[in-house]
A and B are shown apart, each in its own frame.
Chain A
Amino acid sequence: GDSVTQMEGPVTLSEEAFLTINCTYTATGYPSLFWYVQYPGEGLQLLLKATKADDKGSNKGFEATYRKETTSFHLEKGSVQVSDSAVYFCALTLSYNTDKLIFGTGTRLQVFP
C-alpha cells in the first residue's frame, strides 16, 4: 500500500552542522510530497512541499527535492540552529485523494550549541 518511510531518530547535531533526514515513499500515481515540523508543545506546521517530479521545496533554509526515480524526498539544511530542534514528518497525498495525508513516523532532531 501507499506509505512513507523515514530514518529513525533521534538525529543529534552540533549547531551549524549539515542536516539530512531521509524520506522515501511508496505510492501509486503521482503523489504530492510534504515535510511538516512539530516544535515542542505545538501542532504540526507545513515546512515545505513539492507537487511534481524534480520540484524543489524550500523554506527557512530547508530544502527537499522530489526524486521520482529514487522515490525520495530527503530534507536538507546547510547549517542547523538550536531552534531547529523539533520532530520532522515526511508525508504524501495521492492525486485522487488530496484530503488524506499519509505520514512517516517522524524524526526527532536535537541540535546542541
Chain B
Amino acid sequence: GAVVSQHPSWVICKSGTSVKIECRSLDFQATTMFWYRQFPKQSLMLMATSNEGSKATYEQGVEKDKFLINHASLTLSTLTVTSAHPEDSSFYICSARANQETQYFGPGTRLLVL
C-alpha cells in the first residue's frame, strides 16, 4: 500500500526558533498534500492544502506567515513553524493523495516548544 513518512517523529525546540517538518510519499507521486494539527484530546484539524508547484491554501484562522508550507516536488512537502512558541506545541500530521484517490497519512510529528 501507499506509504507516507514524516521526519522527524518528534522534536523539542526553544521558543523563538524555527522548526521544519518533512512529509514524503515513498512509493507514489502526491499531487496534493495536506497538513493537520492535533491538540491533546481534540480532533485533527486541517491547517492547509498544497498542490505541487503552487501556493498552499490555508484554512481560516491558520497564519500562513507562521506555518510555511512548501510542496516543491511530487514526493515532498515541508511545514516550517517559524518563531515557534509554546502554544505551537502540538502533533502535526501530513497526508498525501494522488489525483482524486484516498488520502494516505504519515505517522505524525510531535513538537514541543520550551
Contact = CB atoms under 8 A, between A and B. Distances in A.
28 contacts: A4-B43, A36-B105, A38-B105, A41-B107, A42-B107, A43-B4, A43-B95, A43-B104, A43-B105, A43-B106, A43-B108, A44-B95, A44-B105, A45-B105, A46-B102, A99-B49, A100-B46, A100-B59, A101-B44, A101-B46, A101-B103, A102-B43, A103-B43, A103-B45, A104-B43, A105-B41, A105-B43, A106-B43
A45 B44 CA distance: 14
Say whether chain A's binding surface is mostly helix, strand, loop, or mixed: strand
Contacts of A43: 4, 93, 95, 104-108
Contacts, number: 40
Contacts of A38: 105
A44 B41 CA distance: 16
Say whether chain B's binding surface is mostly helix, strand, loop, or mixed: strand
Chain A contact patch, size range: 10 to 19
Interface of B: 4, 32, 34, 41-46, 49, 59, 93, 95, 102-108
A73 interface: no
Nearest to B3: A43
Nearest to B46: A100
Contacts of B105: 36, 38, 43-45
Contacts of A66: none
Contacts of B107: 41-43
Contacts of B32: 99
A45 B107 CA distance: 10
Q: Which of B41, B45, B105 has the most CB of A within 10 A?
A: B105
A100 B45 CA distance: 9
Given A41-B107, A43-B106, A44-B93, 20 more contacts: A36-B105, A38-B105, A42-B107, A43-B4, A43-B93, A43-B95, A43-B108, A45-B105, A46-B103, A99-B32, A100-B49, A100-B59, A101-B34, A101-B46, A101-B103, A102-B43, A103-B43, A103-B44, A104-B43, A105-B41
A38 B32 CA distance: 21
A100 to B, nearest CB: 6
